[in-house]
Copies of this chain bind each other. A is one copy, B any other.
Amino acid sequence: MRISELARRGGVTTATVKYYLREGLVPPGELTSSTQAVYGDAHVARLRLVRALLGPGKLSIAQAKDVLAVIDDPGDDMFEALGAAQAAAYGAPDDVDTSRALALVERAGWRVDPASREVGQLAEALAALEDAGFDVPPSVMEGYVAAAERIGALELDAIPQDPAEALRYAVLGTILVEPLLLALRRLGEQHASAVRFAPSTD
């Protein structure tokens, strides 16, 4: 297909496709003349993935490029590749006191790397809540931890066996499932509120 058809099927303008091509986010098409190229279904899929990462995934062009580079060529060490993809997507947290985050993780009985980026992210989130003068009641915090533990176990059960597929699943699952989880939580709150304050008359 021509670039105009690729753009249409990807749900973006031709100018946007050209921009992604220049940035290397979408691979070049097959040249049919010095000024024209044709594209295939794989280009459509890639274009949609890029759109998802930049839109709902909220990555910058540079972050999306780095994440896609890891997915495209993960190398032999999947654990290292996963770390590289997460570093690209989230950056490193600032130098932050992790003692409260580590205490929370220990109470949960979780086996995690105390030096990992995620512990830093938890520490930052806890610090922000404290800064805002917002106390999460212990019963609610326990509920959050229990939910995260169940979700982690469920997700791991569903991870593909093939290492490269598993990496793609883990990276996209982290970046793109987050908006899903946040939307579900808001709807879960709305439902709880409806049940409490507007009892059904059925």
Q: Quick one: given A132-B49, A134-B173, A177-B129, are A144 and B140 in contact (CB under 8 Å)?
A: no
A195 located at the interface, meaning its Cβ lies under 8 Å from any Cβ of chain B in the complex: yes
A189 vs chain B, min Cβ distance (A) = 4
A positions within 8 Å CB-CB of B: 11, 45, 48-49, 51-53, 55-57, 105, 108, 110-113, 116, 118-119, 121-122, 124-129, 131-134, 136-137, 139-140, 143-145, 147-158, 169-170, 172-174, 176-196, 198, 200
Q: Is the CB of A51 within 8 A of B131?
A: yes
Q: Is the CB of B48 within 8 A of A110?
A: no
Q: Is the CB of A179 within 8 A of B121?
A: yes
B residues in contact with A144, CB < 8 Å: 151, 177, 180-181, 184
Summarize A's interface: helix, strand, loop or mixed.
helix
Q: Is the CB of A133 within 8 A of B187?
A: no
Q: Is the CB of A132 within 8 A of B180?
A: no
Q: Quick one: given A151-B147, A183-B125, A184-B145, are A156 and B196 in contact (CB under 8 Å)?
A: yes
Q: How many copies does the complex hold?
A: 2
Q: Is the CB of B176 within 8 A of A132?
A: yes
Q: Among B52, B129, B184, B186, point to the contact of A131 (Cβ < 8 A).
A: B52
A125 vs chain B, min Cβ distance (A) = 4
Q: Among B57, B108, B172, B188, point to the contact of A152 (Cβ < 8 A).
A: B188
Q: Is the CB of A187 within 8 A of B52?
A: no
**Closest chain B residue to A116, Cβ basis:** B190
The complex places the Cα of A195 from the Cα of B156 at a distance, in Å, of 10
